[in-house]
Amino acid sequence: MTVEHGKKSSPAILAPAGNRKAFLAAIAAGADAVYCGLKHFSARMAAENFTLNELSQLTSLAHAKDVEVYIALNTLVKPDEIGIAAKLMDQLNRWVRPDAIIIQDLSFIDLARQVGFQGELHLSTLANVSFPAALKMIEKYKRVNRVVIPRELHVDEIKAMAAACPEGMGIEVFVHGALCYGVSGRCYWSSIMGGKSGLRGRCVQPCRRVYRMKDRKKKYFSCNDLSLDVLAKVLLSESKIRAWKIEGRKKSAHYVYNTVRAYRLFRDHAGDPGMKKAALDLLENAFGRKGTHYNFLPQRPQVPISTETQTASGLMIGKIRGPVKKQYLSPIDMLFKGDLLRIGYEDEAWHRTYRVTKSVPKRGRLVLKFPLKKTPKTGTPVFLLDRKGEELEDLLKVLETDLGRIRLESFPQSNFNPVFSKKINVASGKRRERVMEQHVERKIGKGRKTESSGYWISTENIACMPKKGISPSWCWLPPVLWPDDEKETATLVEQVLRKGGTRFVLNAPWQTAFFSRAKGITLWAGPFCNISNPYAIVAAASMGFSGVIVSPELGERDYVKLSRKSPLPLGIVLSGNWPLCISRTLAGDMKIRTSFASPRKEEAWVEKYGSLYWIFPNWKLDLSSRKEMLMKAGYRFFVHFSEPLPKGVKLKKRQGLWNWKVGLQ
């Protein structure tokens, strides 16, 4: 949606809501749209989220107030979850009737068609649509109305995306909220460390921890919050930008209320100094982390990581004083009854929240009592997380009354069953029984290459590849392409084609944009496409892929189930250096090719390729012992990655099964 102001259309202010109170706060603040999630298939499973019954009631209220509602079903879907996902979408369509569904997994596009979903489909930032040509491919192959673009883009790149956006499609831009260190859809850190995947909304935020490099312990990967604040006004001229998005489905109603009001002022009163100050004051009191413009200004980019300071949410309100058993807080500003405090940082043993039971004056004394084993050190900082302001509470009471007039209904279970067909209209859809084993090199040497050779696309690799060797080899495209990379990548692909190259592995479905003449060319969807279920494979087939290298996050049962129903040949990463994450930024005092260690002494290192920083753990993914079992299950393409080890980095001997045993959570 866009908002009409006189004859001018402006982007909608899109607010987050992780619970009922935050949803109502978004309406109270004047949000144009609210996005929220269910108890399942949401990329913010740590948020409270909603039941269908609650969402139906809240959506009815929102629509009565001319506020749109978007539901996030933006997680990776496992093979045995398709039926559940289809029934959920059917119920949403019948009983909730949201204005849009936000998706990451390609399977939801066909499921939406089958249930007759009447709203819009928005591609999540987790889908990693990161370069302009991708938008035209999405228009050609899929029924998508909007694309949420990455937070890492600078203003010129955002404008390039807007300029390339086809008629009938829009883009959505993040303007405020938490920043992930890894590029969305390209972070596996939490999953590798314990099976809780960010692509499933279960990230445990290992990037927020303190890491040691040599003799220094710092938060090398913990980002400040994105805050475009007054700079957002330069986006007002782009009609294809449909919404300014505020991140924060785990944040409080107070945060939602203040940030929405602030960005309404930035949008509706751009250029007014008084309104600018009022908006900045609202953001200051929203209790988020310290703000950063990140890459928004290409001439003045900001590294969003402050390694010398903690990057915790909340407004610093004071420090713990006094001896054990007599600890207290002397707040630097007045505290009110109902205020929620956070004691310390999330990776400290004494971390906890504390609800203020009575008002405390500025520089007064709030006596604190803690369990003996969770007593914080003197000097531990205290942050104000949430506040029950009178203005907001009064508005919420009115909305609660309005909500109470809407009947809370119970809906029947859906009997909808999706129709799945292995029939696909590509000749390459027939299963290939011949086994392929491929070793993917970062930098290739001279000499003849074979079908078992794979290489990452680069000027250097193409230059030293003999013509007779390039034809049988497999060319791998990177997991992320920025707008500035598009022209160079198109040129490199054309060079490979002219040299006789015919085999490519693409690491985003939208990279098919570089292959307008697909005759005689074999395209496989790579592991960074995060494909994990048969419906997503059918979608890949419709885009011209001959096979799929499946998501490496899955567990044993998922791999077997996926193979049984796949209409295309399947591959898998059998062994090698798989990254914890891929990022566009690096802390100023973090050194590449230098080992660093986690609090649990797990080691890793950073490598830079092009504009991307790859974070590698010092142990390999290794499913080699399961190869025979995978072959019996039907897998035919086995991939091995090889990374040059920096001096001083030693690989640890670990089992390297990732989620094979525990399963993807």
At 372, which CATH number? 2.40.30
For residue 659, the Cα-to-chain-centroid distance in whole angstroms is 20
Report yes or no: 33 and 15 within 8 Å, Cβ to Cβ.
yes
For residues 126 and 371, the model is more confident at 126
Given a cut of 90, is residue 313 above it in pLDDT?
no
For residue 599, being part of any structural domain is answered with no
Both 376 and 396 in one domain: the answer is: no
Mean pLDDT across 325-332: 90
Structure confidence at residue 189 as a pLDDT band (50, 70, 90): very high
Mean pLDDT across 265-276: 96
Structure confidence at residue 194 as a pLDDT band (50, 70, 90): confident
Report yes or no: 92 and 56 within 8 Å, Cβ to Cβ.
no
Both 373 and 440 in one domain: the answer is: no
Nearest to 250 by CA among 208, 306, 288: 288
Q: Give pLDDT tens digits for 651-663.
A: 998 889 999 999 8
For residue 413, being part of any structural domain is answered with no
For residue 515, being part of any structural domain is answered with yes
DSSP class per residue in 515-573:
-S--TT-EEEE-GGG---SHHHHHHHHHTT-SEEE--TT--HHHHHHHHHH-SS-EEEE
Mean pLDDT across 213-224: 90
Report yes or no: 466 and 446 within 8 Å, Cβ to Cβ.
yes
Number of compact structural domains in the chain? 3
For residue 121, being part of any structural domain is answered with yes
What's residue 6's pLDDT? 47
Given a cut of 90, is residue 8 above it in pLDDT?
no
Sign of CA dihedral 550, 555, 558, 564: positive
Question: At a CB cut-off of 8 Å and minimum separation 6, what does 498 contact?
Answer: none
Pairing of strands 547-549, 612-617: unpaired
Mean pLDDT of the chain: 91
For residue 114, the Cα-to-chain-centroid distance in whole angstroms is 26
Given a cut of 70, is residue 4 above it in pLDDT?
no
Mean pLDDT across 95-108: 96
Report yes or no: 52 and 411 within 8 Å, Cβ to Cβ.
yes
Pair of tokens at residue 41: 């298939």
Mean pLDDT across 333-360: 85
Both 378 and 397 in one domain: the answer is: no
* pTM attached to this predicted model: 0.93
Mean pLDDT across 329-347: 86
Report yes or no: 190 and 159 within 8 Å, Cβ to Cβ.
no
Q: Give pLDDT tens digits for 493-505.
A: 999 999 899 999 9
Mean pLDDT across 308-322: 80
Amino acid at 507: N
Both 522 and 568 in one domain: the answer is: yes
Both 463 and 320 in one domain: the answer is: no
Q: Give pLDDT tens digits for 33-79.
A: 999 998 777 655 555 578 899 999 999 999 999 999 999 999 999 99
Given a cut of 50, is residue 429 above it in pLDDT?
no
Both 370 and 462 in one domain: the answer is: no
Question: At a CB cut-off of 8 Å and minimum separation 6, what does 30 contact?
Answer: 13, 260, 261, 264
Both 375 and 320 in one domain: the answer is: yes
Question: 């009110």: which residue's tokens?
Answer: 336
Pair of tokens at residue 427: 């000749």
What's residue 347's pLDDT? 60
Structure confidence at residue 427 as a pLDDT band (50, 70, 90): very low
Question: At a CB cut-off of 8 Å and minimum separation 6, what does 74 contact?
Answer: 41, 42, 43, 102, 103, 104, 105, 124, 126, 201
* Domain harbouring 245, CATH code: 3.20.20.70
For residue 608, being part of any structural domain is answered with no
The residues facing 505 across adjacent strands are 476, 524
Q: What is the largest CA-CA distance in the chain?
A: 79
User: How far is it, in rounded angstroms, from Cα 547 to Cα 428?
Assistant: 8
Nearest to 364 by CA among 331, 387, 338, 340: 331
Mean pLDDT across 441-464: 82
Structure confidence at residue 622 as a pLDDT band (50, 70, 90): very high
Structure confidence at residue 90 as a pLDDT band (50, 70, 90): very high
Burial of 648 (0-12, 13-18, 19+ CB in 10 A): exposed
Pair of tokens at residue 464: 């030293």
For residue 420, being part of any structural domain is answered with no
What's residue 428's pLDDT? 41
Both 568 and 504 in one domain: the answer is: yes
For residue 80, being part of any structural domain is answered with yes
Question: 């914080």: which residue's tokens?
Answer: 376
Alpha carbons within 13 angstroms on the beta-carbon side of residue 325 total 0
**Secondary structure of residue 604 in the 3-state scheme:** strand
Both 93 and 233 in one domain: the answer is: yes
Within a 10 A sphere around the Cβ of 144, how many other Cβ atoms?
A: 19
Given a cut of 70, is residue 218 above it in pLDDT?
yes
**Secondary structure of residue 617 in the 3-state scheme:** strand
DSSP class per residue in 187-199:
B-HHHHHHS--GG
State how far the alpha carbon of 590 is from the alpha carbons of 12, 183, 649, in Å.
38, 18, 15
Q: Give pLDDT tens digits for 287-312.
A: 888 899 999 999 999 999 988 766 66
Degrees (nearest 5) of the Cα angle 296, 298, 304?
Answer: 55
Give residue 52's domain range: 2-179+224-287+392-403
User: What is the percentage of the chain residues whose pLDDT exceeds 90?
Assistant: 71
User: How far is it, in rounded angstroms, from Cα 545 to Cα 141?
Assistant: 12
Both 121 and 154 in one domain: the answer is: yes
User: How far is it, in rounded angstroms, from Cα 78 to Cα 560?
Assistant: 11
What's residue 634's pLDDT? 95
User: What is the percentage of the chain residues whose pLDDT exceeds 70?
Assistant: 94
For residues 427 and 458, the model is more confident at 458
Q: Give pLDDT tens digits for 479-538.
A: 999 999 999 999 999 999 998 999 999 999 999 999 986 678 999 999 999 999 999 999
Given a cut of 90, is residue 19 above it in pLDDT?
yes
Pair of tokens at residue 247: 């991140």
Mean pLDDT across 164-176: 97
Both 98 and 234 in one domain: the answer is: yes
Both 473 and 538 in one domain: the answer is: yes
For residue 35, being part of any structural domain is answered with yes
